Amino acid sequence: MSKCAPVRTPKTLSALAAVSILVIGQPQPQTPPPAFDVVSIKPNTSSGDLIVLGGPELAHGRFVARNIPVRNLVQFAYNVQNFLISGGPGWIGSDHFDIEAKADGPLTVEQARVLVRTMLEDRFRLQVSRQSANKPVYALVVNKKGAKLTLSADQTPAVLGPPAEGAPRREGLPRGMSRVGPGQFHSFARPISSLAQALAAQLQRPVLDRTELKGLYDIDLTWTPDQVPPDLPADIRPDPAGPSLFTALVEQLGLKLESTTGIVEVVVIEKVEKPTAN
């Protein structure tokens, strides 16, 4: 004997529809954003210089920042130049903090950025929006006579963390690091984009890498800044008769900066509060 299919009355169909709507419309559990396991935030009222500890600490799952303003934390978290951050109260640049945070394993810089964003949202109630704007920029390009750059002998990406004992250094730098000082930029096995970022910080204007140069480079660039701190030690004081930054780029690296406009991302601080207690 064949079995008959069940008869679905309008009442039964209505009940099934209600169940379907209930299941489809039910909120799904959301995965919380990645966060540090432990975070300590304390005000710093000293007059010391800004100190941020990075690479070696991240290799051990630690993010440590001393005497740092919230504005600089936003700059790191969103990988944006300071001058491309707008909004927010004055204290985000004047109040300084000591921060120690611990994750459950080694961190890359990009992973640390994500965790610091979560920390800012949780402890500082930070809310931001990202907006695109057409702004004056510099384009970093190769000069017509060609680049004068030295490819690093080792083109493998640098490993984050403390350098091994006896590891090679140049200008006191381990591989994968850059140093910027008054009138100087040095790098060891770094991409051209690192130079563009350093130039942007010096010029307070976005610098777009349009060189199309690939690979890792050892770079030494020296110039005479328009303004030099009067208390700068003599051994690192730039030569007063040296070239300007624009001239040094052409003469020493075969690169130049062209003034133009371009679309850049601006981070707008919509809301921020003094940090919650530990």
Q: Quote the pLDDT of residue 233.
A: 76
Q: Quote the pLDDT of residue 229.
A: 74
Q: Quote the pLDDT of residue 56.
A: 65
Which value, in Å, is the radius of gyration of the alpha carbons in the chain?
A: 26
The SS3 call for residue 192 is helix
> What is the layout of strands, in order, in the sheet containing 177-181?
150-151, 217-222, 184-190, 177-181
Q: Is the per-residue pLDDT at 249 higher than 90?
A: yes
User: What share of the chain has pLDDT > 90, as a percent?
Assistant: 63
Q: Quote the pLDDT of residue 120.
A: 97
User: Which is nearest to 52 in space by CA: 37, 35, 72?
Assistant: 72
221 close to 249: Cβ distance less than 8 angstroms = yes
Q: Which residue has the higher pLDDT, 230 or 199?
A: 199
- Binned at pLDDT 50, 70 and 90, residue 94 comes out as very high
Whole-number Cα distances in Å, 89 to 49, 72, 77, 267: 22, 14, 18, 14
Q: What is the mean pLDDT of residues 36-53?
A: 81
- Binned at pLDDT 50, 70 and 90, residue 278 comes out as confident
Q: Quote the pLDDT of residue 147.
A: 96
pTM of the model: 0.76
Q: Quote the pLDDT of residue 109.
A: 86
- Binned at pLDDT 50, 70 and 90, residue 28 comes out as low
Q: Quote the pLDDT of residue 14.
A: 52
* Mean model confidence pLDDT for the chain: 86
Indicate the helix (H) or strand (E) that contains 102: strand 96-102
Q: Which residue has the higher pLDDT, 228 or 169?
A: 169
Q: What is the mean pLDDT of residues 227-240?
A: 76
Q: Is the per-residue pLDDT at 104 higher than 70?
A: yes
Q: Is the per-residue pLDDT at 88 higher than 80?
A: yes
The DSSP result for 207-266, as a single string, is EEE-S---S-EEEEEE---S---TT--GGGPPPTTS--HHHHIIIIISEEEEEEEEEEEE
Q: Is the per-residue pLDDT at 36 higher than 90?
A: yes
78 close to 126: Cβ distance less than 8 angstroms = no
Q: Quote the pLDDT of residue 167.
A: 85
